Amino acid sequence: YGCLKCPKNYRRIGFNDVFGCSQDKSFQIWTAMLNRCYGESFQKSKPTYVGCFVCEEWLKFSNFKAWFDENYIMKYSLDKDILFKGNKEYSPMTCCFVPVEINSLLTNSKKKRGTLPIGVSKHYKKYQAHIHKHDKLEFLGTFDSVGEAFNVYKYAKEQYIKELAEKYFQEGKITERVYNALMRYEVEIT
């Protein structure tokens, strides 16, 4: 945080104005968020975070901590792009806490899947569609084209997202804002 021992090329991103909190969950999540947005080595391993940034208000830890203390749910993940799909900004208006199952449900695994769309794999001269549901891989069929396989995956994934949104909302585990965002979520081929 800008002490004399830091290298000269170090640039200070966030300011911790709450002392004695380095073991707090809020501080751990704050530093992880800063690392996702500004850590070069992190972005090399996870390029989907390139271009992400933290709003000016949250660069001061006490501001983030106040929001965190009001919104955090134990064992939930901080999410920046469920409420606003494709969002790159971490801020009080764009972020929410969601169950890990929902947070991981919406990752696109672009780096792992190669050139085919999400939910599609090559099977000889055809294409298979599959989806992960309830921690199991579910086979959706074999198709002649990538487009057919993706459309089947897209429909199944959107239905599964709605199913989980209903379940979590009925149980009082997600807010109405998160519920509404999930209900209108569309899977894109990109």
The encoded tokens of residue 151 equal: 């459309």
Chain segment 107-122, per-residue pLDDT in tens: 766 555 578 898 999 9
Q: How far apart are CA 108 and CA 105, in angstroms?
A: 9
Find the angle CA(83)-CA(119)-CA(152) to the nearest 5 degrees.
90
User: When comparing pLDDT for 47 and 178, which is higher?
Assistant: 178
Chain segment 52-109, per-residue pLDDT in tens: 999 999 999 999 999 999 999 999 999 999 999 989 999 999 999 999 999 888 876 6
Chain segment 141-151, per-residue pLDDT in tens: 999 999 999 99
Q: How far apart are CA 87 and CA 21, in angstroms?
A: 29
**Is 50 exceeded by the pLDDT of residue 1?**
no
Chain segment 161-190, per-residue pLDDT in tens: 999 999 999 999 999 999 999 999 999 887
Closest by alpha carbon to 82, among 187, 162, 178, 186? 178
* Model confidence pTM above 0.85: no
Closest by alpha carbon to 112, among 132, 93, 98? 132
User: When comparing pLDDT for 6 and 17, which is higher?
Assistant: 17
- Which pLDDT score, from 0 to 100, does residue 140 have? 96
Longest dimension (CA), the chain: 63
